[in-house]
Chains A and B, each alone.
Chain A
Amino acid sequence: MKKIIKIIIITILFILIFVLLNKLLSPKYMDSLIEGSMIAEYYEEEKNHDVIFIGDCEVYANFSPMVMYEETGITSYVRGTPQQLVWQSYGILKETLKYEIPKVVVFNVNSLRYSEPVKEEYNRLTLDKMKWSKEKVETIKASMTEDETFISYVFPILRYHSRFSELSAEDFKYLFTDKKHTFNGFLINKIVKPAGSLPTKKVLPDYNFAKNCYEYLDKITELCKNNNIKLVLIKAPSLYPYWYEQYNDQMVEYAEKNNIDFYNLKEVAEKIGIDYSTDTYDAGLHLNLNGATKLSKYFSRLLKENYDLKDYRKDSKINAIYQEKLRQYNVAIKD
């Protein structure tokens, strides 16, 4: 009997050590590469959002739910991650719908230009911190590059074993705790780096979005229809990478065919008041706080006027939550 208890204790302790090592060696995304932590922040949120954004860096850098709330009382959350590819957006949306059913889903179509993963590191930023679920499993399988293995997502030690010699204070400090970096998924960036000259607009061999991208866009469309959600396609304002006319034409056609609204916000950047000499943090790829504030005000009014969304500023319970968030937000943007 004593022997059995000993074996059980050894097994439990072994599992604990193994779990601990996995946790210790996994990147924390807290002080560096913080974009990798954004996907998990959603789980701690009150799930009361009428609008959910999905997509790549062009959503988490450009749309501030705090500004949108202040402007029109719309509640929203940005589930964006760097280089979020369309199959990842689908998985993240599917996962989100397990927690809440928004009235509007906004998808930034920029990622449709990529028919395959750009690099493993981007997969990791989107997937490492996603909660385990059927959706995560499906998304990992859809995302893996040739050199990746599914098992390394289950046991990060298989991927990150070499970090043993690179462990830093961050790894120990955030072993059991996390810190928040975003406000409802919006990552504040106050740097001003004016747009200058850009690389030449190259001729492409094929401007058509790939078949697999359309398949996942169809899945997003279908998922929204089945849940009575209005899908809104957007192209966020940016100067680079180039959004070719041929790309835009395809989106206009897709939107018409599927009775979806598509807004190319790049075309109305001037009307919004975006000035690429002051409103971007990386010379025209993403908007900084100034630019995101202008865009968020404009887009929240557009949503309010066209999609019959509730003004939660009149709802005392929700308003109290958002007023506290706004207080913290205003401190953060002044820092």
Chain B
Amino acid sequence: MKKVILIILAIAVIVIGGIEIAITVQNSKKVSNADEKVSDVESSQNAEAYTFVDNGKEIALGQVFDKNALGIGDETSYSEVASCAFEGLDKTYTYENYEITTYPDGDKDKIYTIYFLNAEAKTQEGVAVSDSLQKMLEIYGENYEIQGNQYTYTKGKTQLQFIVENDVITSIQYSYITE
């Protein structure tokens, strides 16, 4: 009987070990594929990212949100939204001309989106809400993805999105690709 138990334990160890190895291999393949994809995207876009600049202060998507380090001062209002069931809050910091939303990453909050609230906020390249579609195309070109009336330009893990109605930009948002 001892022999039987030993055989069972050995089989269980082999099977679990096998599953673990198979999954690890599969995951490492996925990771390396994903890395290749990311590196393809990055190299095709010169590994750059869209960044927003407010009064000479650069705000990079995906970076830890620290208003003091960024030097952007205090927000005019703040809100936080919980997700159903899971811990962590999506936090929104509203400034005069734009709104920053963060996502929880471990114990840090990282910048997820920057949404323009009015025509005072401009992209680093000088486009604002109420500018024309033509201006957007002249500055950013034709290399966009379109969904409905939303034009999305991607650079590395960042996106710049314009919503256009009747050839006029009605919304601008920067966002970070988290996955």
B47 contacts A by Cβ under 8 Å: no
The reply to whether B4 and A21 form a contact with Cβ atoms under 8 Å apart is no
The reply to whether B99 and A200 form a contact with Cβ atoms under 8 Å apart is yes
Residues of B with C-beta under 8 A to A202: 115, 171, 173
- CB-contact partner of B4 in A6, A57, A157, A196, under 8 A: A6
The reply to whether B84 and A35 form a contact with Cβ atoms under 8 Å apart is yes
Kindly state the interface size class of chain A when it binds its partner.
35 or more
B81 contacts A by Cβ under 8 Å: yes
The reply to whether A197 and B163 form a contact with Cβ atoms under 8 Å apart is no
Residues of A with C-beta under 8 A to B105: none
A17 contacts B by Cβ under 8 Å: yes
Which residue, of A125, A198, A203, A206, has the highest number of chain B Cβ atoms within 10 A?
Answer: A203
Main SS of the interface on chain A? loop
B56 contacts A by Cβ under 8 Å: no
**Surface stretch bound by A, among B9-17, B66-74, B119-127, B130-138:** B9-17
B143 contacts A by Cβ under 8 Å: no
A161 contacts B by Cβ under 8 Å: yes
- List residues 72-123 of chain B with CB under 8 A from any CB of chain A: 77-82, 84-86, 92, 94, 99, 101, 115, 117
Residues of A with C-beta under 8 A to B147: 205-206
**Surface stretch bound by B, among A8-16, A64-72, A134-142:** A8-16
Give min CB distance, B125 to chain A, whole Å: 20
The reply to whether B82 and A282 form a contact with Cβ atoms under 8 Å apart is yes
Residues of B with C-beta under 8 A to A279: none
CB contacts between A and B, total, < 8 Å: 89
Give min CB distance, A213 to chain B, whole Å: 15
Kindly state the interface size class of chain B when it binds its partner.
35 or more
A240 contacts B by Cβ under 8 Å: yes
Give min CB distance, A122 to chain B, whole Å: 8
Give min CB distance, B152 to chain A, whole Å: 9
CA distance A21 to B4 in the complex (A): 19
The reply to whether B20 and A33 form a contact with Cβ atoms under 8 Å apart is no
Residues of A with C-beta under 8 A to B82: 282-283, 285
The reply to whether A14 and B8 form a contact with Cβ atoms under 8 Å apart is yes
Given contacts A200-B99, A205-B163, contact A21 B16 (CB under 8 A): yes
Residues of B with C-beta under 8 A to A286: 84
Which residue, of B30, B79, B117, has the highest number of chain A Cβ atoms within 10 A?
Answer: B79
- CB-contact partner of B8 in A17, A21, A197, A283, under 8 A: A17
- Write out, one digit per residue, whether chain A residues 159-203 have a CB within 8 A of any chain B CB (1) or not (0): 001000000000000000000000000000000000011111011
A128 contacts B by Cβ under 8 Å: no
Residues of B with C-beta under 8 A to A282: 81-82
Residues of A with C-beta under 8 A to B115: 200, 202
The 8 closest A-B pairs by CB, nearest first: A205-B150, A206-B148, A203-B171, A82-B84, A82-B85, A199-B92, A57-B84, A205-B148
Q: Could you give 14 example pairs across A and B, Cβ below 8 Å?
A: A33-B86, A35-B84, A56-B84, A82-B84, A125-B85, A147-B30, A158-B19, A161-B20, A199-B94, A200-B94, A202-B171, A205-B161, A241-B81, A286-B84
